[in-house]
């Protein structure tokens, strides 16, 4: 029996974004696994959950017993389904799947049922401070071969528009929901009238609207035939998705903020969304993700795993292994990498002409240079964009 000998959290920020990777070493010389545990805003807490709680729990356990380890670890602290521990457990889970693939001599997608497609279609982010600038950036994505593009105008909620604040207003990233909504409608009018209908367009509302405004916004967007509207509501208001469904056929995506099955179950079983946007490490890794794929298939829902800059290349590789082996794959978020990431990680899935491909190595196919990782220390800062405020200074869900 091959057992777990060591478990460590590797913290690194090659692109200036805090990443957490778990490395599991085994009793088999040279056999190790890597997993993504990236919760960028709470990387120190995740590292402690790994080193101080999971490591003593895991040392000496059979590396092959992934399900039993996942289930017992998840309840080892009795309280469960929290973001920090879910990410820590994800790093362990993905590393164990990596090891199982290496033992079997197979890429993880083969362990999940094999390929349904050679590559996964990907979307890229286009942004800009005006509808014309967004249009130019969408065209640039099309020239790179992308056929799916996420379109934002001032990242989330819009920015730099005129805001009348009260005296002595506190610091924050101010936005006006109505100005944001009107601007996005104008932006899509411009994009559809100048670029046309061949490109699939996505928009991420990032929970910036009140529920009733979100319903109206989704309805107004219907004529632009989006591929999907993402995060129309915050996780605390998921009951309002019923009203969105009653008022519009705009396809709906939700999930990057989810940690607890009680958040996604009503949306899936009620067929209230079309794409599940889970950040895989936020729910605990491959083990829960593969169960979610089957659940979504039963309800006609497709996958669109979260793939921003705050996922490590190990997590991106997991997304791609899940993408190519799921019959109900929808689309994969993919924004590419800066050169520095390649100084630390090798085997990153390659993207070409609007598709991303898993590498064919056993396991997840990623390795990392720990010495190089140490060259890029993480920084414990609160991202400014999380301090969203309405014009009167009221804090808003970011
Ligand atoms: C997306 C997400 C990200 C998140 C970020 C939070 O759709 O990619 O909304 O941009 O905001 O991952 O840290
Ligand atoms: Mg998003």
**Quick check: 242 pLDDT over 90?**
yes
Rounded to the nearest 5 degrees, what angle is found at the Cα of 224, between the Cα atoms of 266 and 264?
10
Atom of ligand 1 nearest to the CA of 307: 8
Taking residues 353-361, report their average pLDDT.
Answer: 97
> Residues 201, 191: contact at Cβ < 8 Å?
yes
**Quick check: 280 pLDDT over 90?**
yes
Question: Do 31 and 100 belong together in one domain?
Answer: yes
Q: Element (H or E) spanning 228, and its range?
A: strand 228-230
- C-alpha distances (whole Å) from 173 to each of 130, 203, 398 are 18, 20, 9
Please report the pLDDT score of residue 335 as a whole number. 87
**Quick check: 13 pLDDT over 70?**
yes
Mutation pick for ligand 1 pocket among 204, 257, 281 (CB with most ligand atoms within 8 Å): 204
Residue 300 belongs to some domain of the structure: yes
Give me the numbers of helices (H) and strands (E) for the chain, helices first please: 15, 17
What are the tokens at 303?
Answer: 């996958």
What whole-number distance in Å separates Cα of residue 378 and Cα of residue 10?
10
Please report the pLDDT score of residue 392 as a whole number. 96
* 352 closest CA partner among 49, 120, 160: 120
Taking residues 250-256, report their average pLDDT.
Answer: 98
Question: Do 128 and 255 belong together in one domain?
Answer: yes
139: how many CB neighbours lie within 10 A of its CB?
16
Q: What band does 61 get if pLDDT is binned at 50, 70 and 90?
A: very high
Q: What band does 159 get if pLDDT is binned at 50, 70 and 90?
A: confident
- C-alpha distances (whole Å) from 369 to each of 34, 59, 372 are 12, 23, 5
**Quick check: 204 pLDDT over 70?**
yes
Question: Do 190 and 309 belong together in one domain?
Answer: yes
CATH of the domain at 63: 3.30.390.10
Please report the pLDDT score of residue 182 as a whole number. 97
* Any atom of ligand 1 within 6 Å of the Cβ of 207: no
CATH of the domain at 266: 3.20.20.120
Active-site residue 190, yes or no?
no
Considering the chain, what percentage of its residues have pLDDT values greater than 70? 100
Please report the pLDDT score of residue 394 as a whole number. 97
Average pLDDT, the chain: 97
Residue 132 belongs to some domain of the structure: yes
Question: Do 269 and 173 belong together in one domain?
Answer: yes
Active-site residue 206, yes or no?
yes
What are the tokens at 198?
Answer: 């061949």
* Any atom of ligand 1 within 6 Å of the Cβ of 87: no
Question: How does pLDDT run across 361-387, given as a tens digit for each residue?
Answer: 999 999 999 999 999 999 999 999 999
SS3 352: strand
Mutation pick for ligand 1 pocket among 36, 126, 228, 310 (CB with most ligand atoms within 8 Å): 310
* 157 closest CA partner among 207, 227, 211, 223: 207
Please report the pLDDT score of residue 162 as a whole number. 86
> Residues 372, 11: contact at Cβ < 8 Å?
no
Residue nearest to atom 9 of ligand 1 (CA): 206
What whole-number distance in Å separates Cα of residue 364 and Cα of residue 106?
9
**Quick check: 279 pLDDT over 80?**
yes
Question: Do 208 and 333 belong together in one domain?
Answer: yes
The tally of domains found in the chain comes to 2
Q: pTM above 0.95?
A: yes
Please report the pLDDT score of residue 3 as a whole number. 98
Residue 335 belongs to some domain of the structure: yes
Question: Do 164 and 230 belong together in one domain?
Answer: yes
Question: How does pLDDT run across 116-143, given as a tens digit for each residue?
Answer: 999 999 999 999 999 999 999 999 999 9
**Quick check: 112 pLDDT over 80?**
yes
Question: Do 172 and 68 belong together in one domain?
Answer: no
Considering the chain, what percentage of its residues have pLDDT values greater than 90? 98
What whole-number distance in Å separates Cα of residue 335 and Cα of residue 239?
31
**Quick check: 283 pLDDT over 70?**
yes
> Residues 214, 240: contact at Cβ < 8 Å?
yes
Report the largest interatomic distance among the alpha carbons of the chain, rounded to a whole angstrom.
68
Question: Do 244 and 276 belong together in one domain?
Answer: yes
Question: Do 218 and 186 belong together in one domain?
Answer: yes
Please report the pLDDT score of residue 160 as a whole number. 66
Taking residues 9-31, report their average pLDDT.
Answer: 98
Taking residues 321-349, report their average pLDDT.
Answer: 97
Taking residues 265-282, report their average pLDDT.
Answer: 98
Question: How does pLDDT run across 261-271, given as a tens digit for each residue?
Answer: 999 999 999 99
Q: Which domain holds residue 329?
A: 111-362
* Any atom of ligand 1 within 6 Å of the Cβ of 256: yes
Please report the pLDDT score of residue 161 as a whole number. 78
How buried is 165 (Cβ within 10 angstroms: 0-12 exposed, 13-18 middle, 19+ buried)? Answer: middle
80 forms beta bridges with none
């Amino acid at each position: 029996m091959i057992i777990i000998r060591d478990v460590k959290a590797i913290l690194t920020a090659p692109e200036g974004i805090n990443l957490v990777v778990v490395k599991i070493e085994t009793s088999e010389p040279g056999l190790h696994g890597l997993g993504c545990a990236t919760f960028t805003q709470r990387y120190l807490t995740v590292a402690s959950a790994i080193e101080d709680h999971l490591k003593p729990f895991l040392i000496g356990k059979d590396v092959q017993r992934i399900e039993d380890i996942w289930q017992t670890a998840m309840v080892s602290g009795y309280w469960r389904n929290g973001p920090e521990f879910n990410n820590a457990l994800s790093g362990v889970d993905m590393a164990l799947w990596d090891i199982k693939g290496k033992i079997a001599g197979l890429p993880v997608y083969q362990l999940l049922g094999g390929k349904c497609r050679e590559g996964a279609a990907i979307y890229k982010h286009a942004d800009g401070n005006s509808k014309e600038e967004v249009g130019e950036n969408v065209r640039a994505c099309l020239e790179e071969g992308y056929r799916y593009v996420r379109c934002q105008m001032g990242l989330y909620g819009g920015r730099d528009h005129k805001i009348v604040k009260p005296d002595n207003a506190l610091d924050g990233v101010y936005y006006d929901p109505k100005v944001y909504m009107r601007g996005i409608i104008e932006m899509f009018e411009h994009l559809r009238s100048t670029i046309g209908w061949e490109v699939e367009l996505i928009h991420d509302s990032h929970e910036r609207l009140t529920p009733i405004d979100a319903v109206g916004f989704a309805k107004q967007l219907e004529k632009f035939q989006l591929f999907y509207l993402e995060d129309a509501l915050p996780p605390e208001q998921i009951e309002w998705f019923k009203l969105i469904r009653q008022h519009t056929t705009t396809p709906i995506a939700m999930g990057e903020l989810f940690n607890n099955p009680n958040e996604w179950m009503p949306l899936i079983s009620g067929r209230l969304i079309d794409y599940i946007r889970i950040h895989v490490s936020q729910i605990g890794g491959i083990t829960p993700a593969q169960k979610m794929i089957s659940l979504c298939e039963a309800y006609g829902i497709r996958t669109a795993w979260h793939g921003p800059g705050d996922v490590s290349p190990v997590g991106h590789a997991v997304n791609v292994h899940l993408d190519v082996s799921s019959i109900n794959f929808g689309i994969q978020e993919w924004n590419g990498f800066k050169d520095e990431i390649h100084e630390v990680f090798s085997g990153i899935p390659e993207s070409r002409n609007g598709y991303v491909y898993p590498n064919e190595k056993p396991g997840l196919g990623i390795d990392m240079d720990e010495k190089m990782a140490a060259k890029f220390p993480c920084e414990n800062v609160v991202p400014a964009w999380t301090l969203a405020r309405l014009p009167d200074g009221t804090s808003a869900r970011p």
